[in-house]
Structure 1
Amino acid sequence: MAKKFKDDVYEIDRWITIPYAIELQEAGIEFDKAKKFKDLHDRNRNEDQKSKPCQIRTQMDGVELKTLEKFKRLLCLDKIENWKLVPYGKELQEARVEFNKAKKFKCLLALKEIEDWNIHGATELAEAGIKFKKADKCDMFSIKFNNGLMEISPLSIGDQTETYLRNLIAYEQYCDRDNGFNYISNYVRFMDDLINTPKDVKLLRRRGIMKNDLGDDEVISTMVNKLCDNINFSTTDSIYARTSMDVNMHCRRHKNVWMAKLRHDYFNSIWALLSFLAAVLLIALAITQTIFSIIH
């Protein structure tokens, strides 16, 4: 475990100077190509040059449009021109990044700008089809998300929890700046996004993730929301940045939202399920009757 931790820290140190490191890693771009992309990106930025695709101009008087399109396909100009739709397409192309990975990088970068790395509360995420489970490990910072399942280590909240967390945040903010990894601050920020109302606390409590020794869910939600007051955060450098990105990508897929709504509205009880199946059966019989009527 110590060796794995050392390797992980070394990998983070390698990527930490790369711009858009998380998006490049998530797109499957190798470190060597990402490093070359960084050098090209820094060089062009220093030269105050914008990334523009190479434009190929062809003057063909009297040539019909179909002939021109055929000529472009033969020379694969469409593929060249598509790079102009990718942010920093010139640098990625010169770094020999595959075009399909560059397109994935574009989507991830757009998602980052739209969502700003913030996630919705636990209740809203549950409505989008995300399930919550108590993590088996006792590590306080263990938050994982995979295929619609979020696993969070259990947290007991008592009378001294707020003071304990505030002291640790203060230590990270003012005494341990050279560390670079604000684990407590990142954890509190993530939980602040996850808990907005007492309903969110209730959901996490029922899943065994949160133990409430204070007795009132509203007290906990208010406490968590105030922990982040007057504290500066860098969401892109958070240890949960990729987790937040995966959660937002899951919620933006309409299929996941539709399936969650279907389960919530029609599969939440045996009577709702029977009503749904009866309605489907009636529709199927009506369609069958219509087909036989047309045939005869």
Structure 2
Amino acid sequence: MAAGGGSSKRTWVVDVEKKLKEADKSVEMSRWERHCIYRVPPCMTNIKSKAYQPQVVSLGPFHHGDLDLRPMEEHKCRALRQLLQRVERTFDELVDGVEEVAEQLEGAYMDLDSEWRADGGSRERFLAMMIFDGCFLLEVMRCTAADGKQVGDYAHNDPIFSRHGILYMVPYIRRDMLMLENQLPLLLLQKLVEVESGKPQNDDFINRMVLKFLAQSSGPLPPGVGLGLHPLDVFRRSMLTGKCHQIRSPQDNEEDNTIIRSAVELYEAGIQFKPSKTPSLHDIRFRRGTLSMPTVSVDDSTEYMFLNMMAFERLHAGAGNDVTGYVFFMDNIIDSAKDVALLSSKGIIQNAIGSDQAVAKLFNTISRDVVLEPNSALDAVQRQVNGYFRQPWNIWRANLIHTYFRSPWAFLSLAAAVFLLGMTVMQTVYTVLQFYGNDSNSLPPSAPSPM
């Protein structure tokens, strides 16, 4: 028995040593560099798990076959059929085109199940799923961009591709396109459009098409930035256009790198708020006692939008933490409904979800367990604000306002005290002047000077 146990242990040791020798750092790095679509781990979904789950359509392998999303599969088939008829291409041509980039598409998904991988003998299934999902997405975006005009041969009462479907179903599809686990590589869309048109497609064209569908009011990405990784990546980059106004310097005073005060406290210390000139989250600056911030519209989409962009930043090495830093900054200056009311009055928050307390709760919730990179872009702004807040005059001003101007009764008490103090001083001065006046009148008349 002992010998058998030793032999078994020896086999186990040999297997481990073999795996260690087979591990190749360069191969691992190459594989990780291709990943850009991830499963969100439970440690992040515990905040609000539904914020990471698609509601009506699966895009990609992670949610393919989910029971609640199966009804959309028949609409994908119809979209593919309409697209092929309109561009006069065959399904085989699409397969040949997508197969050229199949390895890159597969590598985009981290922790892809063996049922989809080529080494599991499922390359054909993966290609079919990519083509159906990609063509569906292209048709939805084109019908929406047509602004009510008929695209292809879709029926007027089509549940997805008609004006009725665009009005009532597309908002849900647009939401599902921003789920990190529900992404399609833009390389897929580029290849499908290339097969349709018979010529290579510009990266900027694909970026613009996706961004126009996701955020019609958003400005375009600068030309030449390269093809986005997926719709969520393009949407995130559209919110981060331009350069940061403040860059952390090694000479900055580390003592000012503390948590920033709430908006109301900053306002009481004399700091003014105003909207930035652009909607970019990079456009945050502090200058001459004024904190400029981009206007943000808070509605039903804000929570899942920020959560998925933050999840992407946390899971994708090299993505940065610009959105995470912004949410962390907003959480710091928003402690209560009063802070939201102040920022709303200054045009920085557009509240479309109801109460100010709901907005405060939203930012306080989604910033939970946030991890910030050191030397983030907002550090310099935060230190400048804290430095201004700590100036003695501003501290005295804030304490005065907090103590005596928070309620009308406190203000009236202060005014009464000042009035009484003034009256007391005036009475004292009057008494002193009267005393010296009477004293001078009681002096005997002076003798006449000799001639």
**TM-score, length-scaled by structure 1:** 0.54
Q: Is contact 1:140–1:155 with CA below 8 Å preserved after alignment?
A: no
Q: Which residue matches 1:197?
A: 336
Q: Does 1:239 align with 2:377?
A: yes
The aligned residue for residue 326 of structure 2 is: 187
Cα distance change, pair 256–8 in 1 and its aligned pair in 2 (3 A) = same
Identity %: 26
Letter in 2 for 1:178: G
Q: Superposition pairs for residues 1-296 of structure 1, below 5 Å? A: 22-24=249-251, 26=252, 108-109=253-254, 111-112=255-256, 116-175=257-316, 177-179=317-319, 181-234=320-373, 236-262=374-400, 265=404, 278=419, 281-282=422-423, 285-286=426-427, 288-289=429-430, 292=433
* Matched residue SS, 2:318: helix
Q: Distance in 2 between matches of 1:8 and 1:197?
A: 31
What is the CA–CA distance in structure 2 between the aligned matches of 1:294 and 1:123, rounded to whole Å? Answer: 51
Q: Specify whether residues 178 and 129 from structure 1 end up closer, same or farther in structure 2 by C-alpha distance, changes over 3 A only.
A: same
CA deviation after TM superposition for structure 1 residue 188, in Å: 0.6
Kindly tell me the number of residue pairs found equivalent between the two proteins: 193
Structure 2 SS opposite 1:145: strand
Offset, 1:146: 2.2
The answer on whether the counterparts of 2:298 and 2:353 sit within 8 Å (CA) in structure 1 is yes
Deviation at 1:229, TM superposition (A): 2.3
SS in structure 2 of the partner of residue 133 of structure 1: strand
- CA contact 2:265–2:398 (8 Å) conserved in 1: no
Residues 232, 275 of structure 1: alpha-carbon distance in 2 compared, 3 angstrom cutoff: same
Q: CA deviation at 1:147?
A: 2.9
**Structure 2 regions of 5+ residues with no counterpart?**
1-221, 223-241, 440-451
Contact 1:117 1:241 in 2 (8 A): no
Cα distance in 2, alignment partners of residues 123 and 267 from structure 1: 11
Q: CA deviation at 1:276?
A: 8.3
Amino acid of the structure 2 residue aligned with 1:241? D
* Structure with larger RCO (C-alpha < 8 A, sep 6+): 1
Is the contact between residue 144 and residue 243 of structure 1 (CA under 8 Å) also seen in structure 2? Answer: yes
SS at match of 2:249: helix
* C-alpha distance in structure 2 between counterparts of 1:156 and 1:225, whole Å: 16
2:330/2:363 contact within 8 Å kept: yes
Retained in 2: the 8 A contact 1:127–1:257? no
CA shift in 2, pair 1:274/1:218, >3 Å:
closer
**Residues 294 and 150 of structure 1: is their aligned pair in 2 closer, same or farther, counting only changes over 3 Å?**
farther
- The CA distance in 2 between the partners of 1:23 and 1:290, in whole Å, is 63
Q: What are the superposed Cα offsets for residues 106-141 of structure 1, whole Å, 9 maximum, x if unpaired?
A: xx23x24xxx53112212222333222222333233
Rg larger for: 2
Cα RMSD over matched residues? 3.6
Q: Distance in 1 between matches of 2:417 and 2:282?
A: 41
Give how far 1:283 is off. 5.9
